[in-house]
Every structure is written in C-alpha cells, then in structure tokens.
Structure 1
Amino acid sequence: MAAPGQRDAARGSRPDRPASLAITLLGIVGGAVTLIGIGIPSFWGDEAASVMSAERPLPSLLAELTHVDAVHGLYYLFLHFWVGVAGTSETAVRFPSAVAAGLAIAGTAALGRQLFGMRVAVIAGVVAMTLPQLTRMGIEARSYAFGMAAAVWLTWLLVRLIRRGETRRRWWAVYAVGAGLSVVLFMYLALMVVVHLVVVVTERPPQRVVRAWLGAVAAAGVVALPLIALAMGQQGQIAFLTHRHYATFANVTVRQWFGTWYVAVIAWALVVAGVVTTLRRGGRIRGGALVVWAWLVAPTAILLAGNAWVHPMYNMRYLAFCAPATALAIGLGVDGLAAFVHGRGLRTAVAASLLVALAIASAPTFAAQRTLYAKDGGSDLRQIADAVHQHAAAGDAVVFDESTKPRLKRRLALDLYPSAFAGLDDVALATRAADTPGLWDEVAPLDEVTAAVLAHHVVWAVESTNTRSGDVTALEGLGYRVVESFPLHRTVLYELERVSP
C-alpha cells in the first residue's frame, strides 16, 4: 500500500479546485507581501541600467543590445513597453518583479504538490514567501524574479507532460519555446537542462516521451542560440567578477539565498532534516526530492567549477532561479520533522512553529531590504536628486564625480530623476546614453569644458565620500570657492560660487 505522502503526490497531477485555489492564494499573498515597501529604497546602478535602457527609443535599445547587455535584452524590451504605460518611479519599475515573485511562489507550491503532495506544497509556498533572496529580487528592477518564475513553472510543465505520457507535438512545442525564451530571459537558466534531465531520469517515462523531450530541448537550443552567440561576444561585461572574489564559502552558503548566518543555520538544518527523513521514504517522494536537490546543488556547482577553471562567472544573484528549489528542500525538512509527531493537529503545530521561526529569523532581512539605502550597500541616488532640487537654482551648473565604477556614478541621479535637475546645466555631458551603443552617458573631463563652467556663477559638485575625484580642487583652481556642503548617505553635495575678480 502506498504511503499517505505518495498517494497525495500522485493525486497532485490531477485537477483539484481547492488545491489550485490554495496555490493561487499563496501566490497572491506572496506577491502582496513582496510589494511592502517596494518604493522605499533608491534605485542603484544595475537598476539604472534597466531604466535607462527601457527609456531608449526602440531602435536605440536594439542597437544597445547588439553591443552590450544582450543577456538582459528580453527584460529590457518588456520594460520598454511597461514604463511607457506605468512610468519610471521605483514602485512602477519594480512592480513587475513583485508580480513575478508571486508567480514564483505559486509555482513553488504547484511543483511541490506535483512532487510531494499538498502538505509540502503549502509549506514550501510559505517558505518561499520568507526566503530572503526571493523577497530581495521581488523588489529589484532586474530580470531575476522573472527567472525564478520561469524556472519553476517550466519544471512544473515538464513533470506534467511526462506524467501524462504526452507525445503530442504542440505541448512539447510549448515547453521548447518556454525553455528557449527562459534562456533568452537570462542565459544561466540554460543550467536548468541538468535539473530537467534528473526529472526525466527519476520519472522513467517511455522512450517516446524521452525522444519528445530531447527534441524539445534541441528546439529550445535553436530558439536561444542567437542570444547565446551574441552574449559570448560580450563576455567583457562580467570581467569585473575577476576582482570581486564572490565565490566564497559565506557567499555560497549564506548570502546566496539566506542573507544572514542565523537564517542560513536554520535553513540548512531543515534541508539536512529533509534529506535524512526523505531517504527513509521511497517511490515518487524520493524521486521528487532528487530533482529538488539537483536543482539546489548542480547549477551552483557548475558555476563554481567554471569560475575556478574557465573564467569568473559566479555571482550570488545569478543563482536566484534556484530559490524555488531552496524553498522546496526546506519544506521537505519541515514536513519530515513534523511527521515524527503523532496526531494531525500536533504535526500541523510543529510545522507551523518551524515556519514561524524561519519567518521571524528572516524578518530583519526583509525589513532591511526595504529601507532608504538598502540597495548596493547604500545607494543614495534619489537623495542626491532631492538635495539638488531643494538647494540648486535654474541657471546653475552641475558636475558629477566620474572617478567611480559605472554603477556608482553619481550622474545616474540625473538620468533617473531628471525633473530634479530641470534648469541646471550639465556642463560635462558629451553624449546622452540613448545616442550611444553603450549603457551610460559619455562625459568630457572637467578640464575640457572650462569655458562652459566659467559661464556660471554657481556650480554644484556631486562627489563620493569614498573617493576624491579632484573636481572641487579643479573648480577652486578656476576661481570658485565652497560656500556650503551637504553630506548625504555616501555622497557630498558641494555648492561653489565664483569669486568676483
């Protein structure tokens, strides 16, 4: 006789309106929770790339993608049309990511129901709501939340097709197009083919189904091939990883999904508990667990191996699409520990207690993600714009510290919040980003625009607190003096007036 969990998992492949309603509700609640505080943090450099790309005219955007950021092209194209309707505020631009996070949560529950039954599905869905990597990417104007949703729903579709013994071409065409577009959305989603191979091996479908899957994978490769070829020519984009040394034990085991060490300790303990308790079971429960564990481990291991032996390619954010697997692995642990208690009510109480403990441990990270300076270690681009708008007057000039790396350039405040700089003369601007094939504005050195600077009695210098660009010194050499400074979070705004001769 099949165990209760196995019977529940088997039923998970058949239509069940209450279960579908519960999964939908988990996605809606999860998306709503993610929306909390979505507009509070200032934009940061990577989000600036998204917004500035989306705002380009379509021909300019397409030209950009042939030169740089092809791996984000599908997301930029979507965002181009979205911001045309919704605008470019933090809330508007991040809102689609919160929706995608809700879809990822619902997908986690839906896949959990297929593989393990409704009890684990609900647990995993709740875990996903609290998972720091998911709650972070849900308020990030990048494609990572979309990648989570694509990965989990594509896996759900594959399991469904295999269990139905599906061989009709139209359904495998849906899978092929979805798989190909997911790679176009974010190239590292190609690593999901390893996870899907494990699905095929553990489900042991008839050969005709295996052939259909292999054909769909080949077709997906054809869909994604142009993007892969284009992206391979843009590998210089990730050259910065050489100097970041992201592949550390703490990043892989803690920051990649859990944010803080105490959440990581609880989460990994539950993952181990899931491994131990699941191995005691058999049948589809164990097979489903192998899929989850492969998803949890294989993409990270492959990137770490490539990072060590080929060229730098590891970044914690790049593995965000594994967050659903993390939630499912933790969900197995919660369910496995609760199963030791006799009585349905007590099992529910144990599972609920573990989920509450995980939520409480994750709550400080959730709150920290939604503070003014939460992005990129303290991005204050909106605060720069607010300070300039408050203190500067029409006809003044403004210059920006250009000595930092692109994502930290203070000039991004002008690009993201242009209304705050209305009436000011951006004296160093040579070419707007939209008129170049690159991501950023092209700027002339200060010593090449002396005449333009001297045409203004007041100049505002936006400088980093961590570097010394020399702009203030150069302006003083031109006869200006600092009359006031306004310290911000990681920026100082200087007001300089030209001394009368």
Structure 2
Amino acid sequence: MRIGVPAPDPYGRRDRIVLVVPALAALVGGLWGIRRGSMWQDEATTYAVAGRDLTDLWRTLGNVDAVHGCYYLLVHPLVRLVGDAVPAEVVIRLPSVVATAVAAAGVAAVGRRLASATAGLYAGLAYAASPVVVFHAQDGRPYALVAAAVVEATRLLATALGRPPGDPSGRRTWARYGLAVAVACLLNLFAVLALAAHAVTVLAAAPARKGLGAGRGVARRWAGAVAAALTAVLPVAWAAFGQRGQVAWLERPGLPEVKALVARFAGTGVLLAATVVLVALGLASSRGGGPAGNGGTRRAADAAGPAPGDPIRRGSPGIAMVAVPLAVLPPALLLAVSQIQPLYQDRYVLFSVVGLALALGAGLARAVRLLPGAAPGWLRAAAALALPALLLAASLPAQAAVRRIDSRRDDPAAVARIIGSERRPGDAVLFLPSIRRLVAEAYPDSFRGVHDAALRAGGAESGTLAGRELPAGRIAASLDTAPRVWVVSRPHPAPGDLSSPRDSAKRLLLRESYRRERSVRVLGYVVRLYTRVSP
C-alpha cells in the first residue's frame, strides 16, 4: 500500500468482527450478575445525587462532589426517566456496562492498528475479561466511562501518528482527540494522568515521524489539542480544588498498596505468571515504525494474517510505545504524588488496564505464531482458541468474586431490609455520623414512617450528600419520647468520625434515656435497636 493512498475498506467484515466480538463479550460479562441486590455507599451517592431535580443537583455540586458533576448530569436523565421500572442498582450501572463494551471495541481497534487483527481481537477480549474491568462495569460510578474516553483518545492518537504528512483528515483527528481528552477529564480529573503516557508515545514516535518530515509538527498539534482540552476542564478543576477536603481521609500509599494494585490489575498466582510471560512476548514482538517501514510491527501483522485494508502506516508507533507508558506511568505518577499529598485510589487509574490488555493481546497473538510453520491448520486454530480460553479460566475465581455483594465495602440494602421489615409506628432513627443517611437516601421506602430525629433539611433541599442536621441542643426535643430508636453506623467507627457536637449529643441521649435491645451486623454496617427507659 502506498503512503497517502486510502485503504479501499478500512473496516471490512473481518475488521468488524475484531471490534464486535470483544464488545459483545464485555456486554455479556457486564450484564451477567449485574443485580447484586444492593448499592454500596458510593453508588448510593450516585443514585441520590443524580436523581435530584436539576436545580437541586446544581446546588449540590456547588457544595460537594463537583469532581463528579458531569457524571451525575449524564446519569440524571436515565434515573429520572426510568424511575421504578428497573431496580435502582441496575439503572445506575447500565452506563458503565455500555462504556465497557465501547472500550473493549476501542482496545481491539488500537491493537489492530498497531499490531494485527489477531492481536487486536485478543487485546479487546483481555480487556473485557479483566476482573477489575468487570468490577467497574458493574459499578454505578464514572470510572468505566473515563476508561472508555481514554481508550478513544488513545485510538485517535494512534490514528493521528499513523497519518502521512499533509493528510487533510489530520486536523479533524486531532480535534476529536482533544474532545476525547476533555470528556475523560470532565468525568474524572485524574484522567489527566493518561496525558503523561500519551506524551511519551508522541516523543517515542518522533524519530519515525522525522523520517517523514513531520516529527516536530505532530508534537505541536498534540500539545495544541491537549491545551484546548484542559482549558475546557479548568472550571471543573477549579471547583473541585475548592472541595479538596473531600479526599482528606486518604492516606499515603506504601508497598501494600502497590502489591494490591498489581494483584487487582494483573491477577495473582498462575494468572499473574501467565500475564507476565504473555506481556513479555507481546512487547518483545513490538517495534515501532520507521522511515523504512513498520519493521517488526508490519511483519508481525503479516504473520498473523492482516485483513484487507489493514490501516498500519509508516510512522505508526509500535504497540509497546502505546501500551507500556499507559500501563505504567499513570499509576506510578499517582503513587509518587500521593507521597506528598495523598490522593491515591486504584480506581482513579483504571484506564491503565488498557495498556496491559494491549500488551497481553500482542503476546497471545505471538504465542500462536510460535507454533512451527509445518504445524497443521487445525492445531493453529486450536491454539488460537485455547490460549485465551485458558487465561479466562484462570480468571474465573476473580470474575465470580467481583460479582458478589462482599466485593464492595458495604451493603446498605441489608440495613434497609432490617429497618423496613421491623419498623413500628413512632420509631425514630439516628445516623452516626450523618453521612450514613445515604442508606435512607438510596432506599427511602424502607424508612417511610420512621422519624429521622436529627434531620433539619434533606440532601436535595440543603444541597449536600446526606442532609443537614439540627443543632446538638435541639436533637433531644426532636427525638421527644420516641419509644424505639434505630441507630445506623459503621461496626467500628474511628473516634474522629463521631467527635462532632451533634454525634456526641446523639450518643449521650442514647446512654441516658435508652437501653440497647439488640445489635445486628451486616456488611459494613451495624444496626442497633434502642428502647426508651421509663423515667
């Protein structure tokens, strides 16, 4: 294929299969077991905030959670339109399922462009089957959507770097790249860490581009697209900075967090060992393009049987140039910054799994090619199916684990069931501390008729996550002579969590005027029932 001559059909039948199969696998995997029967606390936040009227939602974002504002606005119409027709926990997870399917197709497209159709197919399937990806596909939070936007930005970056100089579609590609970066960062500001990986990719591809007379120009266009994207994100970043106290609870990560990150992203035991071997194979087979052609990348694609209209171009980055920076740099930078200002959570860099999946897909494709040339076709076909199947089998225990309720830190639905089934007229409820009121925000029917004795204004009315409470001196009068009081708290709250005057007043009232009848522990919570002591 001559440089500058467009492929007759860049997405033929075989190419569509490469994209569709991983997308369908991700969709099935995301829908399987999606209704666990409970939202955990962060999902309860999504449901409570996204379901508010737009006026109340906007007021809330002015006080708290502005960093997730665009995500809440995206989920808002879905929650409002569907209503009670679909269980709440399913509704808020559907965007994540769809985003994961889109991301899996995008990973396949990147792998196909940078290596081969086979490598792309395997990379997309590896991403779809990753337990941590499935975890977030079934989570009503923005991280699966962030990963999908980063995948699209990565695909557009690979496309732009493979364009011949003077290609009239180049400007449109860079504009779409900037848009994808802006969307990713608006959904979560930590997506900006992906830009460090993209910068390395652009710099690594520069020698090949210089051979085409376009190395410096590509870097300028990339910087311009990034600058435009970040300018659009500045208002959200400014608002989130003003609310940075929300992450004050995070602690400085250490070696245990690094080990947990590796286990969560790459697996443990046999799965980890297989992943390491296959990634090494994939990276060993990847060499960037150069002035004389795509070198090892082109030959690897030919060996795997490239589809007609294969879009690999001279100057395209090798798969290692994209996969390694994306897999390593974002988590490494976040860990490093968190030594100074603790910000680390592995979900903030979920998109780094994309780099791992790309390398893994290339490794699987190369493992199939390592069979002797004289091997019969049926043996090659069997190997092509067996290798990913074995990898999937090794991940099945982790796949099952992420679909259980105890894969999350708490089970608010269990609290709601206890109170909803045993409440009586005249009962009151206290939350220690007030943020536990999100249980009632997520499952209001179970608390209907139960007097929230400390509540002054609900979350929507006050523009907060869990409402504003009465002054400490007024809680006793509000509680009045309630014969029974339900108390919802963590099993072992830290002393600082209950140190506010309001929480101290609640605990004093319970000690002086009530007797604890029983205590029920569920995942992440303890529900206590107190009865009033006669004067």
**CA distance 1:242–1:135, change in 2 (3 Å):** same
**Displacement of 1:250 after TM fit?**
0.6
CA distance in 2 between counterparts of 1:395 and 1:259 reads 51
Structure 2 residue 27 is the aligned partner of structure 1 residue 19:
no
| Cα displacement (A) at 1:431 | 2.5
Q: Report what 2:278 is aligned to.
A: 270
Q: Which residue of 2 aligns with 1:335?
A: 365
364-373 or 423-432, which moves further after superposition? 364-373
Provide the residue aligned with 1:477 in structure 2: 512
Taking structure 1 as the reference length, the TM-score comes to: 0.87
> Structure 1: which 5+ residue stretches go unaligned?
3-9
Match of 1:7 in 2: none
Paired with 2:145 and 2:52, the residues of 1 have a C-alpha distance of 22
Partner Cα separation in structure 1 for residue 45 and residue 9 of structure 2: 41
Specify whether residues 115 and 41 from structure 1 end up closer, same or farther in structure 2 by C-alpha distance, changes over 3 A only: farther
8 Å contact kept, 1:123–1:331: yes
Partner of 2:192: 190
Partner amino acid, structure 2, of 1:33: G
Aligned partner of 2:476 in structure 1 is 450
2:286 aligned partner, one-letter code? T
Cα gap change, 1:461/1:219 in structure 2, threshold over 3 Å: closer, same or farther? closer
Alignment of 1:401 with 2:415, yes or no, is no
Tell whether the 8 Å contact from 1:127 to 1:330 is kept in structure 2 after alignment. Answer: yes
1:66 matches 2:62: yes
- Is 1:222 aligned to 2:231, yes or no? yes
- Find the counterpart in structure 1 of residue 416 from structure 2: 385
Aligned to 1:66, the other structure's residue is in SS state: helix
In the alignment, which of 487, 491, 498 is matched to residue 461 of structure 1? 487
Counterpart of 1:216 in structure 2: which amino acid? A
Shift of 1:239: 2.3
Aligned residue pair count? 483
Residue 305 of structure 1 and its aligned partner are, at CA, apart by: 2.4
Separation in structure 2 between the aligned mates of residue 92 and residue 46 of structure 1, nearest angstrom: 15
SS in 1 for 2:35: coil
CA shift for structure 1 position 283: 4.5
1:79 maps to 75
1:50-449 → structure 2 map (5 Å cutoff): 50-87=46-83, 89-165=88-164, 166-168=167-169, 169-201=171-203, 202=205, 204=209, 206-207=213-214, 208-242=217-251, 245=254, 248-255=257-264, 257-258=265-266, 260-278=268-286, 282-283=296-297, 287-308=318-339, 310-342=340-372, 343=375, 344-376=377-409, 379-402=410-433, 406=435, 409=436, 411-444=437-470, 448-449=474-475
* Partner amino acid, structure 2, of 1:196: H
Counterpart code for 2:406: Y
CA distance in 1, matches of 2:24, 2:510: 54
Letter in 2 for 1:149: A
Equivalents in 1 of 2:476, 2:249: separation in Å? 33
SS of aligned partner of 1:386: helix
Instruction: Assess if the C-alpha contact under 8 Å between 2:154 and 2:198 holds in 1.
Output: yes
**In 1, are the aligned partners of 2:326 and 2:352 still within 8 Å (CA)?**
yes
RMSD: 2.9
Task: List per-residue Cα deviations over 1:453-495 (Å, max 9, x = no partner).
Answer: 23322222234332497867742521x3344444434433333
SS in 2 for 1:395: coil
State the 1:346 CA deviation. 3.0
Query: Partners in 2 of 1:335 and 1:373 — Cα distance?
Result: 36
Q: Residue 5 of structure 1 aligns with which residue?
A: none
1:46 and 2:42 equivalent? yes
Q: Partner of 1:111: helix, strand, or coil?
A: helix
Distance 2:260 2:110 in 1: 27
Question: Identity over the aligned pairs, expressed in percent?
Answer: 32
For the 8 Å contact 1:12–1:113, the answer to whether it is kept is no
1-side partners of 2:253 and 2:200: how far apart? 33
Is the contact made by 2:286 and 2:297 (CA closer than 8 Å) also made in structure 1?
no
Closer, same or farther: CA 237–500 of 1 in aligned 2, 3 Å: closer
Report the Cα offset of residue 311 of structure 1. Answer: 1.7
**Local SS of the residue matching 1:140:** coil
SS in 1 for 2:338: helix
CA distance in 2 between counterparts of 1:137 and 1:76 reads 16
Residues 177, 223 of structure 1: 8 Å contact kept: no
Q: How far apart, CA to CA, are the structure 1 residues paired with 2:194 and 2:163?
A: 21
Structure 1 160/490 Cα, relative in aligned 2: closer, same or farther at 3 Å?
closer
- The Cα shift of 1:331 comes to 1.4
Question: Which digits, 9 at most, give the CA deviation of each residue in 1:365-403, with x for residues without a partner?
Answer: 221111233212xx1200110111111123311122328
Q: Aligned partners of 2:255, 2:486: CA distance in 1, in Å?
A: 36
**1:5-48, CA deviations, whole angstroms, 9 ceiling, x for partnerless residues?**
xxxxx989923233114412320231121111112052222222
Cα deviation for residue 437 of structure 1 reads: 4.3
AA partner of residue 231 (structure 2): V
Looking at structure 1, the residues matched to 225 and 342 of structure 2 have their Cα atoms a distance apart, in angstroms, of: 30
Distance in 2, Cα, partners of 1:307 & 1:173: 32
Q: Secondary structure at the match of 1:495?
A: strand
Once the two structures are TM-superposed, the CA of residue 301 in structure 1 deviates from its matched residue by: 2.2
Q: Quote the offset at 1:427 in angstroms.
A: 0.5
User: Following the alignment from structure 2 to structure 1, what is the Cα–Cα distance between the partners of residues 278 and 8?
Assistant: 23
What is the CA–CA distance in structure 1 between the aligned matches of 2:220 and 2:471, rounded to whole Å? 60
CA 1:393/1:246 → structure 2, altered by over 3 Å: closer, same or farther? Answer: farther
CA pair 454-275 structure 1, distance change in 2 beyond 3 A = same
Give CA deviations for 1:384-429 in whole Å, capped at 9, x if unaligned. 10111111123311122328xx5xx3x2211100011111101111
Deviations 1:265-315 (A, max 9, x none): 33223222322343697255672222111111121222222223x422222
In structure 2, stretches of 5+ residues that fail to align are 289-294, 301-316, 499-503
Aligned to 2:24: 28
Cα contact 2:25–2:125 (8 A) shared by 1: no
**Which string of whole-angstrom CA distances, capped at 9 and with x for unpartnered residues, describes residues 83-120 of structure 1?**
11123710111111011111111111111111111111
Whether the aligned pair in 1 keeps the contact of 2:47 and 2:88 (CA below 8 Å) is no
The amino acid that maps onto 2:438 is: L
Q: Which deviates further from its counterpart, 296-305 or 349-358?
A: 349-358
TM-score (norm. length: structure 2)? 0.82
Q: 2:468 & 2:8 partners in 1: Cα distance?
A: 56
Q: Is the 8 A contact 1:260 1:365 kept in 2?
A: no
Q: Tell me, in whole angstroms, the C-alpha distance in 2 between the residues paired with 1:296 and 1:475.
A: 52
Counterpart Cα distance in 2 of 1:67 and 1:487: 32
Q: 1:236 to 1:481 in 2, by over 3 A?
A: closer
